[in-house]
Structure 1
Amino acid sequence: MTEQWQSLDSLNALWSALLIEELARLGIRDICIAPGSRSTPLTLAAAANPAISTHLHFDERGLGFLALGLAQGSQRPVAVIVTSGSAVANLLPAVVEARQSGIPLWLLTADRPAELLGCGANQAITQANIFANYPVYQQLFPAPDHDITPSWLLASVDQAAFQQQQTPGPVHLNCPFREPLYPVAGQQIPGNALRGLTHWLRSAQPWTQYHAVQPICQTHPLWAEVRQSKGIIIAGRLSRQQDTGAILKLAQQTGWPLLADIQSQLRFHPQAMTYADLALHHPAFREELAQAETLLLFGGRLTSKRLQQFADGHNWQHCWQIDAGSERLDSGLAVQQRFVTSPELWCQAHQCEPHRIPWHQLPRWDGKLAGLITQQLPEWGEITLCHQLNSQLQGQLFIGNSMPIRLLDMLGTSGAQPSHIYTNRGASGIDGLIATAAGIARANTSQPTTLLLGDSSALYDLNSLALLRELTAPFVLIIINNDGGNIFHMLPVPEQNQIRERFYQLPHGLDFRASAEQFRLAYAAPTGAISFRQAYQQALSHPGATLLECKVATGEAADWLKNFALQVRSLPA
């Protein structure tokens, strides 16, 4: 193996190969790369490493979100390689989302050496601290230097990895390189360039072995008392199936109602309340829910504003939050006990005898609202689509922000359950959603992927349609085209002088047929519930990507929801 390393032609190549190999030993299997000259040593090292799969894209902004999706779908860190200059700056939106959502990314950004900064050199910007405090760890490497032992480089990578394990999120390693950047025939690195690495070269382990002692989750001394109180369980953003199964078991044992967010993987489970968000419109439901004395909040970042406001405003005797991360995810809640551990371990430590008589009769509200929805459901539109979509789903689902996720959270029916639900709700932006879903699809090629998003989100990430061309498993991109940002019809935006339309909604008058043709995607434009079902089922049987454009009336969903809220309030208790 030593000969393989010594055949490299420069310190640039050696440092890059060492860095990529150490990442591979740390468990990284996917590296996303955008083309560039200054990043050549890193690119060639990634291409040459047999443990690495490479993913390419011409747009660094989309590339960052592609990596984000790969990391979400694979449940392991993913690296990104970009060249210097504005290419680095284009990663910022994905870096923000990775930090907010605790998704492990590695940002390997090529740079000019120090002597080329601040002197008018081409494509040179200040890249140190370019992502501010969003990385959980960042380091400005020196340009490769023979006087720096290679073990320093390996140890630096290991330190970054350990920090990322303690606080999941993005790591930024800025890597300056001097020319020559490309292979030079006949040149080799000095014979002692690998000094001190004898043991590492003979093993397959990282240079540094970190050992973090994990505390054992024990039963809280107040649990016996809390267990006898009237409680509710709210499940926020969760990603591990082990956690969701443990929460379901605890809900069964306690007999407490389970209110599950769309991001919890439990929203469509029969044990969870189906229409809690809509039921909160009714004073009698809120009054009954307000009898609860204890709240167990698993995760956080709730989609439902009504549920969040109820939890914030209620005077809890016991308010406990359980999440593997230490970040506060409770918004305005006065959490009294915060358990930094996985929900699975916490639930195992707090098992109890099944509670035979529930303190509540909340599930009856699901029946009331299901009947009312059936009576009021439009023949077609985004309300109908979001109400019925999950009953047709196969495989995994990625939901865009603004209206789509709110409608699914409010209206999705129980029963059918996607294999996994993904979102980008850390920063709740509309950028990079197509690219993220493409990454998720690449990480899980054995099942179909459905992406539901609005037209403004699709226009914002149009370049990423290029990433869908390479998919082989069924991928269904459902675009709800209501001519702009219709979420603002739900907000108290001034209507006089067309303020909402001009400054918020931004109607565009565009459709996506030509976009599908440009990127060579299958396309259909269903105009009703029956034609949508047929088009969706056909797309699920089509290898590769299909774009389904659903044109609906502007403002229709907001008007329906406002009217439906009045109908809910008039229901008998």
Structure 2
Amino acid sequence: MNPSTALARVLVDELAAAGVTDVVLAPGSRNAPLSMALVDADTDGRLRLHVRTDERAAGFLAVGLARSSGRTTAVVTTSGTAVANLLPAVLEAHHGGVPLLVLTADRPPHLREVGANQVIDQRDVFGRSLRFFHEFGVPQRAPAQQAGWRSMVDRALAHSRGLGVGVPGPVQLNIPLVPPLLPDAAAGTGLDQAADWPEDLHGRADGPWTSIATEATEDVLSGLDVPAGRVPMIDAPAPGERVLFVGDLTHPAAGPLAALGHVVLSEAGGAAGASVLSAGAHLLDLPGFLEPALPDRVVVLGRPTLFRQFGKLLADSVVEVDVLAPQAGYSDPSGRARRVAPVLAPLAGPGEPDFVRTWQDAQRRAAAAVAGELAGWKLASSPRLAADVVAALPDGATLVLGSSQLPRDVGLAAAPRDGLRLIANRGVAGIDGTVSTAVGVALADPESPTVALMGDLTFLHDVTGLVIGPDEPRPDLTIVVSHNNGGGIFHTLEPGEERHASRFERVFGTPHGTDLGGFAEAAGWRHDVIEEPADLAALLSAPSGLRVLEIPTGRSDLRAEYARLRAAVHASVHV
């Protein structure tokens, strides 16, 4: 067995022994030893392999698998620019707390800085975004290597789960490999064929080589139901204290806290839970309501960055702010947080009665006003589309939200409901990689119907994510695309003001005139154009296979539509 094959087989064997279930591979020449070891492990049922030819899509597929499952997913590339194409996914994993293991094949160090083919310095591509980095030595035919190889895999996996910082994230193992890069003819497919190697290459039969105890992060990320005294805590509401909880788009504590009788606003509005105040973002826009309803304290759930109204509240010097988040990954742009802790102290009961009643009464009137306004709109309206998608999904479904306009539409228009799991790449909130992320989410949880909701630019930005080879695991996934031929969100922001109209369309609207169905069908996805709400609801209630639902929408009226929603809420709350 040659040295590169030995190293690759040991690394892949240790991944499987340590519990890694999914690996995404972008094939190349230098990572051929890893590719061969991975396909053998997939054939033997030790892990599941996903092959993609676009490294950027591969990276976000791994992010989707990891974000959905909560387990570290590995992504493997060859050397050179292949590594650099993983940067957007690594940044999202870093800022979004996603456990990701990056395995990058490399040329040996002596080929750096001498003009050798396909060689870059891969040791600092991801900079400070990594939780951990290690570069293996060039493998040699020598004893006493495999223990170090295996223990380093386990160390990297522990750091990806949050070792040392308490927040999961990306790690990198850089792997110099030297020819021969393919197995010898007599090497077979496993470690049993390594009789000519100077040491036994087998790992432990009962698990990973090195079992590293890490402070469990999964059970504290919600901030609830953690034994008292185990970790620092945010104070529970005191008797008579008016506490408002403000959650990010996908925070798991929003729904349970609201169900317990507390006032909870979420960036996801009603999609976060039936008891969450679906009109929260609207109510924060009404000074006449907010001034008498202002809380004594706001507890921030996670990292809300979607709505400016939320940021304005958190910057108000009158309000005390606590942040419920792991200390290493908390969000406090205004610098006003008094306390930061990953856990909320046990709750004695519901929120302060008068405070809760004030907000719930306003919520009932505002939600009815929003629903009444939307009822007269067509599906071609983006807020109406978002509300209809949320309402139509079956209980237990997963909704993957793209960035930009549509998550805002969900937060402003969706009616309250339970039974949804929300997933979004809000770490750095880019539109890149959304199709691939959704594919990964669906593959990680095949029992949950999965629907992704995104705009046409988001869809086109990751169109290679649609390409799934004939031998690859295939998800049950419906992608709903709001097709307004450009960037709708800018109509609702400052560039959409009338004074910029003469220059708006080219540099902000960015029309593209692309046939989305052509892309979808070329990649083997069924494509339908939907214009009626009843047709959309019927299709979202059934298994999909690979399906793209295109809904033609407008964007020039978005600013006016938002104004109509605000006006309806304002009139209903009587302030």
Q: Which residue of 2 aligns with 1:23?
A: 15
Q: What is the correspondence of 1:351-500 to structure 2 with a 5 Å cutoff?
A: 351-354=347-350, 357-360=353-356, 361-377=358-374, 378-380=377-379, 381-394=381-394, 395-418=397-420, 420-467=421-468, 474-493=476-495, 495-496=499-500, 498-500=502-504
- State the 1:114 CA deviation: 1.6
Q: What is the correspondence of 1:300-379 to structure 2 with a 5 Å cutoff?
A: 300-316=303-319, 318-324=320-326, 326-339=328-341, 341=342, 343=343, 346=344, 349-354=345-350, 357-360=353-356, 361-377=358-374, 378-379=377-378
Is 1:101–2:96 an aligned residue pair? yes
- State the 1:534 CA deviation: 3.9
Q: Which residue of 1 aligns with 2:299?
A: 296
- What CA distance in whole angstroms lies between the structure 1 residues aligned with 2:232 and 2:157? 32
Could you tell me which amino acid in structure 1 is paired with residue 436 of structure 2? A
- What CA distance in whole angstroms lies between the structure 2 residues aligned with 1:553 and 1:144? 58
Is 1:247–2:249 an aligned residue pair? no
Secondary structure at the counterpart of residue 178 of structure 1:
coil
Secondary structure at the counterpart of residue 246 of structure 2:
strand
Q: Which residue of 1 aligns with 2:199?
A: 194
Q: 1:137 aligns with which of 127, 132, 136?
A: 132
- State the 1:99 CA deviation: 0.5
Is 1:505–2:532 an aligned residue pair? no
Could you tell me which amino acid in structure 1 is paired with residue 273 of structure 2? H
Gap runs ≥5 in structure 2: 188-192, 217-225
Could you tell me which amino acid in structure 1 is paired with residue 59 of structure 2? G
- What CA distance in whole angstroms lies between the structure 1 residues aligned with 2:126 and 2:215? 31
1:143-200, CA deviations, whole angstroms, 9 ceiling, x for partnerless residues?
Answer: 11245632122222222223223231111111111101012224786756326x7xx7
Could you tell me which amino acid in structure 2 is paired with residue 427 of structure 1? V
Aligned residues: 542
Could you tell me which amino acid in structure 1 is paired with residue 110 of structure 2? E
- What CA distance in whole angstroms lies between the structure 2 residues aligned with 1:528 and 1:273? 28
- State the 1:43 CA deviation: 1.3
Could you tell me which amino acid in structure 2 is paired with residue 30 of structure 1? D
- What CA distance in whole angstroms lies between the structure 1 residues aligned with 2:235 and 2:32? 57
- State the 1:244 CA deviation: 5.5
Return 451-460 or 300-309, whichever deviates more: 300-309
Structure 1-normalised TM-score?
Answer: 0.88
Cα separation, partners in 2 of 1:506 and 1:222, compared to 1, 3 Å: closer
Q: 2:280 aligns with which of 271, 276, 282?
A: 276
- What CA distance in whole angstroms lies between the structure 1 residues aligned with 2:352 and 2:293? 19
- What CA distance in whole angstroms lies between the structure 1 residues aligned with 2:99 and 2:240? 39
- What CA distance in whole angstroms lies between the structure 1 residues aligned with 2:332 and 2:132? 25
Could you tell me which amino acid in structure 2 is paired with residue 193 of structure 1? P
- State the 1:296 CA deviation: 2.0
Is 1:32–2:24 an aligned residue pair? yes
- State the 1:451 CA deviation: 0.7
- What CA distance in whole angstroms lies between the structure 1 residues aligned with 2:569 and 2:204? 69
Kept in 1: contact 2:275–2:416 (CA 8 A): no
- What CA distance in whole angstroms lies between the structure 1 residues aligned with 2:527 and 2:197? 59
Q: Which residue of 2 aligns with 1:3?
A: none
Q: 1:260 aligns with which of 257, 266, 277?
A: 266
Cα separation, partners in 2 of 1:449 and 1:221, compared to 1, 3 Å: closer
- What CA distance in whole angstroms lies between the structure 1 residues aligned with 2:298 and 2:7? 52
- What CA distance in whole angstroms lies between the structure 1 residues aligned with 2:569 and 2:447? 42
- What CA distance in whole angstroms lies between the structure 2 residues aligned with 1:375 and 1:287? 26
Could you tell me which amino acid in structure 2 is paired with residue 409 of structure 1? G
Structure 2-normalised TM-score?
Answer: 0.87
- What CA distance in whole angstroms lies between the structure 1 residues aligned with 2:110 and 2:444? 41
Cα separation, partners in 2 of 1:210 and 1:17, compared to 1, 3 Å: same
Return 14-23 or 129-138, whichever deviates more: 14-23
Q: What is the correspondence of 1:7-156 to structure 2 with a 5 Å cutoff?
A: 9-49=1-41, 50=44, 51-147=46-142, 149-156=145-152
Kept in 2: contact 1:234–1:258 (CA 8 A): yes
Could you tell me which amino acid in structure 2 is paired with residue 280 of structure 1? L
Cα separation, partners in 2 of 1:237 and 1:376, compared to 1, 3 Å: closer
Is 1:532–2:532 an aligned residue pair? no
Q: Which residue of 2 aligns with 1:5?
A: none
Kept in 1: contact 2:254–2:301 (CA 8 A): no
Could you tell me which amino acid in structure 1 is paired with residue 528 of structure 2? A
Secondary structure at the counterpart of residue 547 of structure 1:
strand
- What CA distance in whole angstroms lies between the structure 2 residues aligned with 1:509 and 1:201? 55
Kept in 2: contact 1:303–1:409 (CA 8 A): no
Gap runs ≥5 in structure 1: 1-8
Kept in 2: contact 1:261–1:409 (CA 8 A): yes
Return 213-222 or 182-191, whichever deviates more: 213-222
Cα separation, partners in 2 of 1:536 and 1:189, compared to 1, 3 Å: closer
Kept in 2: contact 1:311–1:333 (CA 8 A): no
Identity of aligned residues (%): 26
- State the 1:246 CA deviation: 5.4
Return 149-158 or 268-277, whichever deviates more: 149-158
Q: What is the correspondence of 1:212-223 to structure 2 with a 5 Å cutoff?
A: 212=214, 217-218=228-229, 223=235
1:446-503, CA deviations, whole angstroms, 9 ceiling, x for partnerless residues?
Answer: 2321110001111111111113986666421111011101111111126547322111
Aligned-residue CA RMSD (Å): 2.7
- What CA distance in whole angstroms lies between the structure 2 residues aligned with 1:532 and 1:451? 13
Kept in 1: contact 2:272–2:417 (CA 8 A): yes
Secondary structure at the counterpart of residue 205 of structure 1:
coil
Q: Which residue of 2 aligns with 1:211?
A: 213
